[in-house]
Amino acid sequence: MSVKESCQNCGGTSFIQATDYVNLRPINKKMAIGSEKIYTVCLDCGEVVSIKVNHPEKLK
């Protein structure tokens, strides 16, 4: 990952992208598959600096 910014929490500049096993789904569509979330995490302190939905069109 090429983030040119530094972590606002600790000033670190090493980041990694990660995901979890739970997809994000619309509240009113309980049976929707939804989309995975991509987290950008500071490797120095563990602060999550960004969360992005991989396929936002699946939330419609």
List CB contacts of 21: < 8 A, sequence separation 6 or more. Answer: none
Query: What pLDDT was estimated at residue 47?
Result: 95
Rounded CA gap, 32 and 9, in Å? 35
Return per-residue pLDDT of the chain as tens, 60 residues: 444 689 999 999 999 999 998 899 988 888 888 899 999 999 999 999 999 999 999 888
Q: What is the pTM of this model?
A: 0.78
Distance CA 45, CA 10 (A): 7
Domain definitions of the chain by residue range: 15-59
pLDDT at 4: 65
